[in-house]
Chains A and B, each alone.
Chain A
Amino acid sequence: MREEFVLDEVVTVLREDGSADPATDPGLPEDTLVRLYKHLVLTRAVDERLVTLQRQGRIGFHIGSLGEEAAILGSAAALYDDDWLFPCYREFGALLLRGMPLQTYLDNMYGNGRDPVKGRQMPDHYTGRPYRFGSVSSPIGTQITQAVGFSWAAKLRGEKIAASVYFGDGATSSSEFHNGLNFAGVFKTPTVFLCRNNGWAISVPVAQQTASPTFAQKGFAYGVPGVRCDGNDLLAVYKVTRDAVDRARAGGGPTLIELLTHRLSGHSTSDDPKAYRAEAEMQAERARDPLPRLRRHLELRGLWSEAAQRAHTDALEAGLKAAVQSAEAAAAPSVETLFDDVFAARPWHLEEQRAACLAAPRARGHGAH
């Protein structure tokens, strides 16, 4: 294989000692750095709380981002306000960063009557149009071609924005990855492909997902530049994403970014990784946790302290507790809403079925979260 196709370079910024490599440092303002670190901590805390709530049987399911927070938040932060984000299903941190209130996200987790999705989908299948954030579905990779079409439409209409799209290493095996990259290459769409390579697709390791040495190099064949970056290094993620976004917005076309990260949990709360992963390996990955890594940098620059950490954690725990309580107490969606939004207006058959449903006896436990 020709060397330039292999792409073994991995962009990093944060060094072991917490300093930033001046050659790659995106030079974020101090308040932005602090804000992003706070969001990392928030995302981690919400994640852990949701796992607990699921274990307690209070929510049905959670699919989180433990270990992948820097990959998600660093890239989301690199978007401009008018750019769009098409999520996979681990990007709730990005949704909160883009402005969805924590309460609204928890309402989605509980599928209650305030949930923007109206309780119609599993937890973590959120939607966020007001935040220029797509709608989550479970099929793998479908959002990739959609993001390409969306950004292509923007280009055709003369709007100079980019659309980013998140997917895991497993999704690179889907036809959608091929379709999306191919269309993006042919039509030079302003799309930023964000492949979160966390090493695993449920139980299948990367080595069984592809024989390609890297995911980034897959872009070459489509005429889409590829770049690899340390996905646990928030500043590196920000840097490569911002470069790709700037290029896309300037008409330079798409980029495929491979974010090297680790999934420090099961696939979801329904999965137990002990069946296929060695504990020692996970220990080694925990040592590369993206949160302490950015924190070291902030502390080195005098932007963060143990006291700040405590104050932030206390405040967010209080907010989280209140939001959970409120989401839990909120009423379920009314049964009438079952028949809304299938079409713009209800046709005769849905009117009939709605009336029959409202007249039918309800099973016990209906409307429970």
Chain B
Amino acid sequence: MPQMNMVQAINDALRLELRRDPRVVLLGEDVGKVGGVFRVTQGLQEEFGADRVIDTPLSEGGIIGAAIGMALYGMRPVPEIQFSDFIFPAFDQIVSELAKFRYRSGGEYPAGMVIRTPVGGGIRGGHYHSQSPEAYFIHTPGLKVVCPSNPYDAKGLLLASLRDPDPVLFFEPKRVYRAARAEVPEGDYTVPLSQARVVREGRGVTVIAWGAMLYEALEAANEAARQGIDCEVLDLRTLWPVDIDAVVASVKKTGRVVVVHEAPRSCGFGAELIALLNEKAFLHLEAPPVRVTGYDTPFPYTLEMDYLPLAARILPALVETARY
């Protein structure tokens, strides 16, 4: 089985689907000739032509608006937003239009598509190349939100998303685009949406993470193990609809939970996860649920490693929660 990084695995998924389904088109800024600023779509325009891997004008609103029209026609557009920090010019099209199309048309106009976009910090990108805007989209009825942590899942989740009837926001954690390498099967396979994965089994504390922060959570869990704390680490993989059964089962087992995410704390997805656990596992909780997150500040440049919820900051939360 070949070793791939996440960039290669996503490229492989796109190539497979472009070959399999003539309705699939890729569009975005720099996705064609240069293969994307992160080279995720490299070589695809060469193989499939400029009509299927399309360099567009520099307008996120135009990219998503046009992609919606393509989806209404019956295509399977895969728009790329170069950085998820730049998704906001398209926010109206995503939130007011894409998310509501099936509902508002009484089912006449489904608009399935996958919006791919790199997410997260740790790459010295400052305010505008580092943010994690997933909560805005989770809060919007009608959207699915996916964030893989590794090459195997990235390919399988992307293929599943591309075949899903609903609009999917596919957040690609750019900090681990090339850092995470793994064996990835060459052919077609899917990782089903809304299924979390237990990455590390344990009985002491449940740690919930996704994307690049999964590695920080794992590092902290391994360190905690040396201190006799047995953590279970859950990679959500699909943020919404979340795999509620997996989350609740793990927390019922451990009685303790720490949620890790890069996005600002207040009204972040961690808040929703903890609210859900209060509703569904309250009597099993033996310690207050804890969030280790980005701060409620704009994402900083020089101090980004202080902002990010890295292992050093997760570890004390694990210890405190375990010993509460």
A residues lining the B interface (CB < 8 Å): 115-118, 120-121, 125, 127-129, 134-135, 137, 139, 142, 144-154, 156-157, 163, 175-176, 178-180, 182-183, 186, 340-344, 347-349
A5 to chain B, nearest CB (A): 22
Given A149-B69, A156-B52, 14 other A-B contacts at CB below 8 A?
Answer: A127-B106, A129-B109, A135-B109, A139-B97, A145-B65, A145-B66, A145-B68, A146-B97, A149-B73, A150-B73, A153-B73, A154-B73, A342-B103, A343-B144
- Please name all residues of chain A whose beta carbon is closer than 8 Å to the beta carbon of B62 when the two chains form the complex: 145, 179-180, 182-183
- Residues of B in contact (CB 8 Å), total 46
A-contact 0/1 string along B57-92, CB 8 Å cutoff: 101011011111111111101000000000001001
Are B108's CB and A342's CB within 8 A? Answer: no
Q: Is B165 an interface residue (CB 8 A)?
A: yes
Residue of B with least CB distance to A138: B96
Are B105's CB and A152's CB within 8 A? Answer: no
How far is B69's CA from A142's CA once the two chains are assembled, in angstroms? 10
A96 to chain B, nearest CB (A): 17
- Please name all residues of chain A whose beta carbon is closer than 8 Å to the beta carbon of B25 when the two chains form the complex: 153, 156
A42 to chain B, nearest CB (A): 24
Are B102's CB and A179's CB within 8 A? Answer: no
- Please name all residues of chain A whose beta carbon is closer than 8 Å to the beta carbon of B57 when the two chains form the complex: 182-183, 186
Partner of A117, one of B69, B71, B104, B244: B104
B residues lining the A interface (CB < 8 Å): 25, 51-52, 56-57, 59, 61-62, 64-75, 77, 89, 92-93, 96-97, 100-110, 141-142, 144, 165-166, 194, 241, 244-245
Are A347's CB and B106's CB within 8 A? Answer: no
A286 to chain B, nearest CB (A): 35
- Please name all residues of chain A whose beta carbon is closer than 8 Å to the beta carbon of B110 when the two chains form the complex: 344
How far is B165's CA from A348's CA once the two chains are assembled, in angstroms? 17
Partner of B59, one of A118, A182, A341: A182
Are A152's CB and B69's CB within 8 A? Answer: yes
- Please name all residues of chain A whose beta carbon is closer than 8 Å to the beta carbon of B71 when the two chains form the complex: 149
Are A116's CB and B108's CB within 8 A? Answer: yes
- Please name all residues of chain B whose beta carbon is closer than 8 Å to the beta carbon of A342 when the two chains form the complex: 102-103, 141-142
Residue of A with least CB distance to B99: A342
Are B244's CB and A348's CB within 8 A? Answer: yes
- Please name all residues of chain A whose beta carbon is closer than 8 Å to the beta carbon of B56 when the two chains form the complex: 183, 186
How far is B265's CA from A70's CA once the two chains are assembled, in angstroms? 55
Residue of B with least CB distance to A136: B104
Residue of A with least CB distance to B241: A347
- Please name all residues of chain B whose beta carbon is closer than 8 Å to the beta carbon of A156 when the two chains form the complex: 25, 51-52, 75
Are A343's CB and B166's CB within 8 A? Answer: yes
Are B65's CB and A179's CB within 8 A? Answer: yes
Residue of B with least CB distance to A118: B106
How far is B96's CA from A146's CA once the two chains are assembled, in angstroms? 13
Are B244's CB and A349's CB within 8 A? Answer: yes
26 A-B interface contacts by CB (under 8 A): A116-B106, A116-B108, A120-B106, A127-B104, A127-B108, A129-B105, A134-B72, A137-B100, A144-B65, A145-B61, A145-B65, A146-B66, A146-B72, A148-B65, A149-B67, A153-B74, A156-B52, A175-B89, A179-B59, A179-B61, A180-B65, A183-B56, A340-B107, A341-B107, A343-B102, A343-B165
Are B166's CB and A344's CB within 8 A? Answer: yes
- Across the A-B interface, the 9 shortest Cβ-Cβ residue pairs: A149-B69, A145-B65, A149-B66, A179-B62, A150-B69, A347-B241, A153-B73, A344-B165, A146-B69
B86 to chain A, nearest CB (A): 14
How far is B59's CA from A186's CA once the two chains are assembled, in angstroms? 13
Which of B69, B70, B110, B241: most chain A CB closer than 10 A? B69
- Please name all residues of chain B whose beta carbon is closer than 8 Å to the beta carbon of A145 when the two chains form the complex: 61-62, 64-66, 68-69, 93
- Please name all residues of chain A whose beta carbon is closer than 8 Å to the beta carbon of B70 when the two chains form the complex: 149-150, 152-153
Residue of B with least CB distance to A344: B165
How far is B142's CA from A128's CA once the two chains are assembled, in angstroms? 21
- Please name all residues of chain A whose beta carbon is closer than 8 Å to the beta carbon of B104 when the two chains form the complex: 117, 120-121, 125, 127, 135, 137
- Please name all residues of chain B whose beta carbon is closer than 8 Å to the beta carbon of A343 when the two chains form the complex: 102, 142, 144, 165-166
- Please name all residues of chain A whose beta carbon is closer than 8 Å to the beta carbon of B109 when the two chains form the complex: 127, 129, 134-135
- Please name all residues of chain A whose beta carbon is closer than 8 Å to the beta carbon of B106 when the two chains form the complex: 115-118, 120, 127, 341
B161 to chain A, nearest CB (A): 13
Residue of B with least CB distance to A184: B66
- Please name all residues of chain A whose beta carbon is closer than 8 Å to the beta carbon of B92 when the two chains form the complex: 139, 142
- Please name all residues of chain B whose beta carbon is closer than 8 Å to the beta carbon of A154 when the two chains form the complex: 73
How far is B55's CA from A183's CA once the two chains are assembled, in angstroms? 11
Are B103's CB and A120's CB within 8 A? Answer: yes
Are A175's CB and B61's CB within 8 A? Answer: yes
Are A150's CB and B72's CB within 8 A? Answer: yes
How far is B111's CA from A227's CA once the two chains are assembled, in angstroms? 33
- Please name all residues of chain B whose beta carbon is closer than 8 Å to the beta carbon of A340 when the two chains form the complex: 107
> Known interface pairs A137-B97, A142-B96, A343-B166. Does A176 touch B65 (Cβ–Cβ under 8 Å)?
yes
> Known interface pairs A142-B97, A152-B70. Does A135 touch B65 (Cβ–Cβ under 8 Å)?
no
A340 to chain B, nearest CB (A): 7
Residue of A with least CB distance to B96: A139
Residue of B with least CB distance to A185: B57
> Known interface pairs A125-B104, A129-B105, A152-B70. Does A142 touch B65 (Cβ–Cβ under 8 Å)?
yes
Are A146's CB and B68's CB within 8 A? Answer: yes
- Please name all residues of chain A whose beta carbon is closer than 8 Å to the beta carbon of B166 when the two chains form the complex: 343-344
- Please name all residues of chain A whose beta carbon is closer than 8 Å to the beta carbon of B101 when the two chains form the complex: 135
Residue of A with least CB distance to B164: A344
- Please name all residues of chain A whose beta carbon is closer than 8 Å to the beta carbon of B108 when the two chains form the complex: 116, 127-129, 135
Are B69's CB and A148's CB within 8 A? Answer: yes
B166 to chain A, nearest CB (A): 5
Are A153's CB and B69's CB within 8 A? Answer: yes
Partner of A348, one of B77, B96, B241: B241
- Please name all residues of chain A whose beta carbon is closer than 8 Å to the beta carbon of B100 when the two chains form the complex: 137
Are B93's CB and A135's CB within 8 A? Answer: no
Residue of A with least CB distance to B55: A186
